[in-house]
Amino acid sequence: MKRIWWIPISLLLLTGCVPSGADEETEVVNEEEEVETAMIPSMQLDDQFYRTLLPYKESATRGKIVNRLNSRYDITETEKGLLRLSQKQFSPDDYYFQEGQKITDEDVTSWLQRTSKDNPAGLNAADDRTAEQKKAGERPPAEILAHVIEQNYLVKTNEDTIRLGGISVGLALNSVYYSSEDGISYEEEIPQEQIEKEGKRMAGEIVKRLREKEGLGDIPIVVGLFKQNSRNAMVPGIYFSSGAAPGGDQAVANWTAVNETYVLFPTAGADERYRDIDTAFRNFKQDVEIYFSNFTSVIGTGFYQDNELKELKIEIPIQFYGAAEVIGFTQYVTGLVVEHFPENVLVEVSVTSTNGPEALVLREAGETEPFVHIYE
C-alpha cells in the first residue's frame, strides 16, 4: 500500500500551481497602464492546469456566490466548469489564470436585481404587477439570473510583461425559483427553454457592458450558461451552453451545447447510458456491505463528458475509527476499486468518520494501481 501526500483535484483546478524557489518575477500591465509586480510560479502540475500569478488577487464579487447559489456543489462547479470551457479558448500552455478583476461588486449587485426605473441595469425580469394583481395572489415573474462569475486569462507580451488576453463569464441560472410573499413561501420550476432564452439574452447584454469598460473593446470573451440544481439536490448543476465574442464583437456568437452531466449512484432511473457503471457501483457497494456492516451508506457521483464517464467519486462514512479497522477496511476497498471499475475512469474513494477524513483511495485514469493515504 502506497502512502502519499494528496492534494484535492478541485484545489488543483482552481490554483494550478504551487510556490517554487525558481518562481519568475514579471510585470502585469492593466488597461490604464498601471504596472504591478507579480510572480509566476515555475511549476505547472499538469498541462490542463493554469499557472496563477502571485500574490493571488481575489475577485470583487467573490463573497456573493455563497448567498446566491443553492448548494456547495453548485458553488464549486460554476468555477470548475467555467475553467473547462475556458481551456478550449485560452490554452493553459499560453495563458495564466486570475480571478475576475473587471466586473465590480456594484456591477453584479445591480445586474442581479430586477430591471426597474430605479435600476435599469437589472437583468432579471421586471415585476410589473398591479396592486390588484398582487392582492389576487398573482406571482411575480421568476428571477432567473442567480450570479455572475468572471475569470481573467493573462498572456505574456514579452519576457517581462503580462497583459489581459481573455475573459470568461459564467452566468448561474435558476432552474427553480424560490420566493416568499405575505409570509407564504413557494417554488416554481423554470422551463429549460426559458432558462436558455433568457440566459443568452443576458449574456449578450453583459458582453455589451464589458465592451464599454476601458481597455476591453478588443478582448475575447467566453460565456457559459450554468443551470444550477435545486436546493435539495446531491449533485451539482451543469453548464449547458457556451459561446464566444471575439475581440471587437458586441454579440456572443457560435453558441454550442455543452454535453456534461453529474449522476448520483446508485441511480434510481433506468437510463441505459449509466447502466454498466450503475451495476458496477451496486456490486462494489454490496461487497463493502458484506465486509463491514456498521457504516451509514455508500454514495457515488459520476461526472460524464460527451456521454463518457470521466470521474467517479465515492463517499463512505464509517462509524468505527480504530486504526487497525481503518487500515483493514481501506485495503479491502482498494481491492474493490481495482476489481469493479474500468481503468479509463478516475476513481476517488473518501472514507470519513465523525472525526473527519480517515482514508483516501485514488486511482487515476489509465493507471492500474491506486494511490492510498491513511490520515493520522
SS (H, E, C) the chain: CCECCCCCHHHHHHHCECCCCCCEEEEEECCCCCEEEEEECCCECCCCCCEECECCCCCCCCCHHHHHCCCHHHHHHHHHHHHHHHHCCCCCCCEEEEECCCCCHHHHHHHCCECCCCCCCCCECCCCCCHHHHHCCCCCCCCCEEEEEEEEEEEECCCCEEEEEEEEEEEEEECEEEEEECCEEEEEECCHHHHHHHHHHHHHHHHHHHHCCCCCCCCCEEEEEEEECCCCCCCCCEEEEEEEECCCCCCCEEEEECCEEEEEECCCCCCHHHHHHHHHHHHHHHHHHHHCCCECCCEEEEEEECCEEEEEEEEEEECCCCHHHHHHHHHHHHHHHHHHCCCCCEEEEEEEECCEEEEEEEECCCCCCCEEEECC
CATH number at residue 62: 3.10.570.10
Query: Residue 1 falls within a domain, yes or no?
Result: no
Tell me the residue type at 130. Answer: T
Q: Please report the pLDDT score of residue 32 as a whole number.
A: 47
- CA dist 300 and 361 (Å) reads 14
Mean pLDDT of the chain: 86
> Looking at the predicted structure, is the pLDDT value of residue 4 above 60?
no
Q: Please report the pLDDT score of residue 101 as a whole number.
A: 94
The residue-averaged pLDDT of 230-245 equals 94
CB 122 within 8 A of CB 110: yes
Whether 270 and 246 map to the same domain: the answer is no
Whether 217 and 341 map to the same domain: the answer is no
Query: Residue 3 falls within a domain, yes or no?
Result: no
* C-alpha distance across the termini of the chain, in Å: 15
Please calculate the CA angle 71-244-78 and round it to the nearest 5 degrees: 10
Query: Residue 127 falls within a domain, yes or no?
Result: no
CB 264 within 8 A of CB 235: yes
The CA distances from residue 232 to 42, 70, 71, 296, in Å, are: 42, 8, 8, 19
Q: Please report the pLDDT score of residue 59 as a whole number.
A: 87
pLDDT-derived band at 40 (thresholds 50, 70, 90) equals: confident
Neighbours of 86 (CB within 10 A): 24
Domain count, the chain: 2
CB 177 within 8 A of CB 140: no
Cell readout for 41 is 510560479
The residue-averaged pLDDT of 235-253 equals 95
Whether 192 and 53 map to the same domain: the answer is yes
Q: Please report the pLDDT score of residue 123 as a whole number.
A: 97
Query: Residue 134 falls within a domain, yes or no?
Result: no
Q: Please report the pLDDT score of residue 53 as a whole number.
A: 83
- CA dist 164 and 175 (Å) reads 33
Whether 340 and 356 map to the same domain: the answer is yes
Whether 248 and 291 map to the same domain: the answer is no
Between 33 and 85, whose confidence is greater?
85
- Segment 288-345, tens digit of pLDDT: 988 766 555 899 999 999 999 999 999 999 887 688 889 999 999 999 999 999 999 9
CATH number at residue 326: 3.30.300.190
Q: Please report the pLDDT score of residue 137 as a whole number.
A: 83
Last residue of a domain, one of 258, 283, 307: 258
> Looking at the predicted structure, is the pLDDT value of residue 285 above 90?
yes
> Looking at the predicted structure, is the pLDDT value of residue 102 above 80?
yes
Residue 338 burial (10 A CB sphere; 0-12, 13-18, 19+): middle
> Looking at the predicted structure, is the pLDDT value of residue 7 above 70?
no
**Residue % of the chain over a pLDDT of 90:** 62
pLDDT-derived band at 28 (thresholds 50, 70, 90) equals: low
Cell readout for 325 is 479497522
> Looking at the predicted structure, is the pLDDT value of residue 23 above 80?
no
- Segment 138-193, tens digit of pLDDT: 889 999 999 999 999 999 887 678 899 999 999 999 999 998 887 788 899 999 99
Torsion angle (degrees, nearest 10) of CA 324, 329, 331, 336? 170
pLDDT-derived band at 1 (thresholds 50, 70, 90) equals: very low
pLDDT-derived band at 16 (thresholds 50, 70, 90) equals: very low
Q: Please report the pLDDT score of residue 18 as a whole number.
A: 41
Parent domain of 211: 9-115+141-179+187-258
Whether 193 and 268 map to the same domain: the answer is no
Q: Please report the pLDDT score of residue 168 as a whole number.
A: 98
> Looking at the predicted structure, is the pLDDT value of residue 131 above 70?
yes
Q: Please report the pLDDT score of residue 350 as a whole number.
A: 97
Q: Please report the pLDDT score of residue 156 as a whole number.
A: 86
> Looking at the predicted structure, is the pLDDT value of residue 279 above 90?
yes
Between 320 and 219, whose confidence is greater?
219
Query: Residue 219 falls within a domain, yes or no?
Result: yes
Q: Please report the pLDDT score of residue 225 as a whole number.
A: 98
Q: Please report the pLDDT score of residue 14 as a whole number.
A: 38
Q: Please report the pLDDT score of residue 43 as a whole number.
A: 57
> Looking at the predicted structure, is the pLDDT value of residue 287 above 80?
yes
Last residue of a domain, one of 258, 278, 298: 258
Whether 29 and 105 map to the same domain: the answer is yes
* Residue 301 CB partners (closer than 8 Å, separation 6+): 234, 235, 262, 263, 264, 265, 312, 313, 314
The residue-averaged pLDDT of 211-221 equals 96
Query: Residue 107 falls within a domain, yes or no?
Result: yes
Whether 241 and 271 map to the same domain: the answer is no
